[in-house]
Amino acid sequence: MEFDDMKKIWDTQNNEPLYAVNETALHHRILSKKRKGFHITNISEWLSVLVYGGTACFIFGVNFYKQSGNVWMYFLAAWMLGSALYTLVSRIRRIRGERQFDRTMNGDLAHAISVAAYQVRLSFLMRWNILPMGLLTVLSVLDNGKSVWVAVGVLVFFVISYYAGGWEHNIYKNRKRELEVLQNKLESC
């Protein structure tokens, strides 16, 4: 069969569409998706900002109110507040950066890769962020005169969080790799 024949066969669909659309059902779906329109990146960003910011304020407030003089707690509060601010600034920069992508397939893929790279970077930083936070928490526990076993328990909790963070980080890394493979496929002949 010649290619022109294939085109003729292909064009028959323009007169006789393959499907009919249930427009009411479609409208229901669109409204439902619209309501669920929050993206995972948005949620994780806001969660980080609220958890870090809220915990920092709480630690600072309690420590200040009790006049405990535990300097490690102040360091921990400052570190967490810094983490919240960093996430907030990263979010603003990400949203501003979104305007630069065109609506071609390549542009769309570049945008998806950029979001994936952002998630990889953020999850990497947040994972390593667990280490200084764990260290400061253990030091403040010891400074408060608690037993070594309490400090060990806290340390175990942070180690588990660190490993869980690695699992999340790998999900984002794999997603980014898949998108890069797709982009290579688009650009190669």
Partner 1 sequence: MTEKEQQHIFEQWLSQHKALVFKVVRAYAFTAMDQDDLFQEISIQVWRSVTAFRQESSVTTWLYRIALNTAIKWVRKERKHQQDGNLEEVEHVLQENKMPVDERLVWLYEEISRLDEIDRSVTLLMLDNFSYKEMADILGITESNVGVKINRIKKHLISKSKKYS
Residues contributing to the site for partner 1 (CB under 8 A): 1-3, 6-7, 9-10, 12-14, 16-23, 25-26, 28-30, 33-34, 102-109, 112, 178-179, 182, 185-187, 189
Of 85 and 182, nearer to partner 1 (C-beta) is 182
Please answer whether residues 77 and 60 qualify as being in contact, where contact means their C-beta atoms are separated by less than 8 angstroms. yes
Nearer to partner 1, 17 or 69 (CB): 17
> Minimal distance in Å, beta carbon 170 to partner 1?
14
Alpha-carbon gap, residue 66 to 58, rounded angstroms: 12
| CB of 182 vs partner 1, minimal distance in Å | 7
Q: Are 91 and 45 in contact (CB under 8 A)?
A: yes
Owner of token pair 């490993």: 163
HSE value, Cβ hemisphere, 13 Å, CA-based, for 161? 16
Q: Which is nearer to partner 1, 139 or 182 (CB)?
A: 182
